[in-house]
Amino acid sequence: MIIWNRDQRSTDYEELKTKLRPGHSDYPAMIKYKGHNDYRGGGRFSGRLTATLVMGGAIARKLLGAALDVQTHSYVSQIGKVAMGKRFTEKMIPDIYGNDVRCPDPEAAALMRAAILGARRDMDSLGGMIESVTTGLPVGLGEPVFGSLESDISSGVFSIPSVKGVEFGSGFAGSESTGSQNNDTFVLRDGAVQTRTNNAGGILGGISIGMPLTLRVAFKPASSIPREQPTVDIKSGKDAVLSVKGRHDPCVVPRAPPVVDSVVALVLADHALLGGFIGPVL
């Protein structure tokens, strides 16, 4: 598979040859690759490259669905300080792509859209949160210690540009609970062992337990903004001011649900194949 990028404007990035973008990877890339990094559009660090994750992820999602009836659905749950007011349910899945923001709560989606447009007017940007739910997983995917499901999913998700945090189940909020509050007690439902709650996010000891796999992914605000910011010009060796030109999103989060879906699916497909849950694929 290949995607040709036929709509580029390299001249928009000319100033970035020598001026470092605050919040962007320009500086470490310049040092690491000794000036051979491509400043046009961010080069190897561009969000455009997530298209390749979606290409592979589309195959992984089909494989998981056909072989194990595993389904992954990611959606925008928060933009800036605007968060969903409803708890996500299976009935809301068709609504994820029912608006530009990819939030299954229409009322929250309208407020999120207004917040994004407000940031654009202010020549600024916003971050946000993606939540992901995977259902149909068998018990036993993952390995303890280095091959844990949480470790591998986190590693994959952190390969998505702008991601700064990942949490599973109750996540950081669970650190404020007691054991009796956070423990998921076991129960038999139709002869199958399940848990009454899902604070573990479907994973214990790095291994899937058959409950929905839930995670949240935090995205920082886009660093390329038109608002003037102080920086350094490495050519002149002096302080400088930079206003980033070009076509840059004031918020990348609405573009991210299919990327998170894809990364999660790629990791789960790997574990399903390695663990023998799916036979050899020819």
Q: In this predicted structure, what is the pLDDT of residue 54?
A: 96
Q: Which residues contact 95 (CB under 8 A, 6 or more apart)?
A: 104, 105, 106
Token pair, residue 196, equals 């009454």
Stretch 112-122: mean pLDDT, rounded?
A: 96
Q: What is the pLDDT of residues 164-189, one digit of tens each?
A: 999 999 999 999 999 999 999 999 99
Q: What is the pLDDT of residues 233-244, one digit of tens each?
A: 988 889 988 888
Q: Are 54 and 281 in contact (CB under 8 A)?
A: no
Burial 201-214 (b: 16+ CB within 10 A, else e): bbbbebbbbbbbbb
Q: In this predicted structure, what is the pLDDT of residue 41?
A: 62
* Confidence band, pLDDT 50/70/90 cuts, at residue 97: very high
Share of the chain above pLDDT 90, in %: 70
Token pair, residue 141, equals 């995917």
* Confidence band, pLDDT 50/70/90 cuts, at residue 197: very high
Whole-number Cα distances in Å, 44 to 36, 50, 82, 159: 11, 10, 31, 11
Average pLDDT, the chain: 91
Degrees to nearest 5, angle at CA 216 with 250 and 208: 150
Q: Which residue has the tokens 């390299």?
A: 10
* Confidence band, pLDDT 50/70/90 cuts, at residue 47: confident
Stretch 42-68: mean pLDDT, rounded?
A: 89
> What is 190-231 written as a DSSP string?
TTEEEESS-TTTTEETTEEBSSPEEEEEEEPPPS--SS-EEE
Q: What is the pLDDT of residues 103-113, one digit of tens each?
A: 999 999 999 99
Strand-pair partners of 83: 78
Q: Which amino acid is present at 84? A: M
